[in-house]
Structure 1
């Protein structure tokens, strides 16, 4: 990094399609199909179908191909972590983001300046994905999903241990990809008396994790008879749509694993397990990356801008 080289204020700009780099003629996590897409991870709000060229990690491609089948992309260009590739003079490399299996921080180097896009990321330990690997950059483009000083995510292990106090069967709502696999591993390690049943839509992602070397522990596909015959210590993991459709489910304790307070309101137990950085983690990331400027996206960066104003330039890309 060099403080003598000017940062290009328009290196990444927010458009209706998403974050665009005109210098390399590519989009980061576009919301609509484009010709050149650099994709940080496989969640649907970052990885849409129909792009011509997708640059991503192998797990991200595998998850997209399962979800979108033949419409996933015309061409996948699989990149290992740390491998450098070039788009119109912009040198790009991926580093683990710690958000889910295959998630990547995107380092872009152009004319002596380093720009680091986080996608979604977390700093906490997670046995189901690669640990985050922060690198220094002149500009940090960070997600700000939970960027308020009062937001502090509790320890995921202590949260999952709450379920040990529940003898009744549990319907556990969680996103099918990433969060569900993390919960399976956490339950197996910290709630060993629980029997884990998965909604059929979650099973393929769990199997893909296993095929890529991630050991999740014991789980099985949901069987209505099994749930009926066993009135205790069953955990049935379901995606949000199923969870919301069974809001009157009887004989189960309803729990939803998320960092969002508004999604915890009507649940009998609050399970605050997030795969995003909270306020303290964002500040820790800034300290590690040592940027000259911070650009924010995915959420509101206003609180961060106010807090850092005396010391650091904070630009809100999404406002």
Structure 2
């Protein structure tokens, strides 16, 4: 029997009372199961953190000694117990080390996706479809009007100009994916990276991810070469240099508002779009779908009288 209170939402985050742990808590807790290392899912200060090794490495860099009291790193497919709940991680395809969290209790399987994408990405583990009774899915882009274009077609847009490009991208996950895409599809570009992104790049390489050629940003190189330079910067730097001259601006994101006032729109998302969410539901074969991190109303309408959809947020 599916338990409606298996996962509940509190100001601290998603709580599983039957295992006495939180999923991606928003505040420090005793037992935290962390799906991936982005700051809106992984905070510092919890006592026990269960996650993949890569996620732990990113958190240790970001939060230093305040990352956690103790990390318990787990391989994909390696099951462990939290009270009476059996927990297993599966690849989520979002960033390196990102995990779906399968929770089994009294014969019922609850699958929390965290953030995910199902399209190919050389910089992280491929998404794995896992059957479950309840699919707890992010719904960031759960809108029939949203279809993410091919990331290859998007990155090739940069070949349409020879001008230098200031390219905004999140420091963890997106930047590394962009470096790889640039190396594969924009071979004439010299890729430079903001210093704050470099530690995450090094962790990717420590885990055997081959990103291609890049270097630390050098102001003289950018100043003396007026063509074919791409400077990858985190969002704060991108927005603070809004009036930067002699560069074309682009920001790698699935959000339309982040494409405004840029020279090139660059729709590269690390989240599932509408069709990907529907495909995931089809292959997970859940009896119920619970939605998080977005608006689940359109999914609820789409599956009306066919599948129970519960909006948790």
Shorter-chain TM-score category? over 0.9
TM-score normalized by the length of structure 1: 0.98
Task: Quote how far apart the aligned CAs of 1:134 are.
Answer: 1.1
**2:230 maps to which residue?**
235
Task: Quote how far apart the aligned CAs of 1:16 are.
Answer: 1.1
1:9 and 2:34 are equivalent in the alignment: no
Q: Which runs of 4 or more aligned residues in structure 1 lie more than 2 Å from their structure 2 counterparts after TM superposition?
A: none
Q: 1:16-95 residue pairs with structure 2 within 5 A?
A: 16-95=11-90
1:180 and 2:175 are equivalent in the alignment: yes
Q: Give the distance between the partners of 1:293 and 1:273, measured in 2 at CA.
A: 30
Residue 226 of structure 1: which of 221, 238, 242 is its match? 221
Residue 166 of structure 2: which of 154, 157, 171 is its match? 171
Aligned to 1:33, the other structure's residue is in SS state coil
Aligned to 1:150, the other structure's residue is in SS state coil
1:198 and 2:193 are equivalent in the alignment: yes
Deviations 1:157-213 (A, max 9, x none): 000000011100000000000000000000000001000000000011001100110
Q: Give the distance between the partners of 1:285 and 1:216, measured in 2 at CA.
A: 28
1:279 and 2:254 are equivalent in the alignment: no
Aligned to 1:228, the other structure's residue is in SS state helix
Residue 116 of structure 1: which of 111, 114, 135 is its match? 111
Structure 1: runs of 5+ lacking an equivalent = 1-5
Structure 2: runs of 5+ lacking an equivalent = none
**1:313 maps to which residue?**
308
Q: Give the distance between the partners of 2:214 and 2:296, measured in 1 at CA.
A: 39
Aligned to 1:299, the other structure's residue is in SS state coil
Q: 1:93-108 residue pairs with structure 2 within 5 A?
A: 93-108=88-103
Task: Quote how far apart the aligned CAs of 1:67 are.
Answer: 0.4
Deviations 1:269-318 (A, max 9, x none): 10000000000000000000000000000111011111111200000000
**2:247 maps to which residue?**
252
**1:156 maps to which residue?**
151
The count of corresponding residues between Structure 1 and Structure 2 is: 313
Task: Quote how far apart the aligned CAs of 1:86 are.
Answer: 0.2
Q: Give the distance between the partners of 1:310 and 1:189, measured in 2 at CA.
A: 46
Q: RMSD in angstroms over aligned alpha carbons?
A: 0.4
Deviations 1:133-172 (A, max 9, x none): 1100000000000001000000000000000111000000
Q: Give the distance between the partners of 1:143 and 1:302, measured in 2 at CA.
A: 12
